[in-house]
Structure 1
């Protein structure tokens, strides 16, 4: 969606930076939440793995496609992405566990 906005309008990437960052946080929290809810245990671990896989994919795309390593700012962002996914995993486990204990 964002790429279509950039392609067909005069909007510059810099003006959408915070929106893309917010969407990334929401997506990683949701991914951690879903993976933690499905696993039903060790939400911090499965959420962390979700965040690390996301960071690895972005890193490989950037390194192999553009021949650039992560900058210091990107390292901070991806550390926060991993932490957000961990929080989502923890919450997903707790909500899944509470729903199961209510139905039993």
Structure 2
């Protein structure tokens, strides 16, 4: 991988984790100060996660300027790997089948974002 692609991945991952932390804070505050239950927020967290991974893949693709599909896949895989490491090392739990489907969707959204990001970001001269 070239330095340009690694920089693009770093931007994508940084965007994803920043947005995840902010959205987690907002959702926690909503859960605390409203009458919403955790089950009500389950769909919101899934949709937010998919949207955030799309944005992260988009930024990776736009920064990388080429091979958006590859940047998107690596952005999604890197996110899933970090989540797996936190879960396994922190809680001694592996990924269940439901989580594998979720992370498959996350990777696909990052891939789609990367492909669109390359085409929208344009070529640098």
Using the size of structure 2 for normalisation, the TM-score is 0.73
Unaligned runs of 5+ in 2: 1-25
2:68 aligns to what?
43
Structure 2 residue 116 is the aligned partner of structure 1 residue 91:
yes
Which structure is higher in RCO with an 8 Å CA cutoff and minimum separation 6? 1
Q: CA RMSD in A?
A: 1.8
CA distance in 2, matches of 1:68, 1:8: 30
Using the size of structure 1 for normalisation, the TM-score is 0.86
Structure 2 residue 41 is the aligned partner of structure 1 residue 16:
yes
Spell out, residue by residue over 1:57-99, the C-alpha distance to the aligned partner (whole angstroms, 9 max, x if none).
Answer: 21112112221111101101101100110010000001122xx
Which residue of 43, 53, 59 maps to 1:34? 59
Unaligned runs of 5+ in 1: none
CA distance in 1, matches of 2:118, 2:99: 28
Structure 2 residue 28 is the aligned partner of structure 1 residue 3:
yes
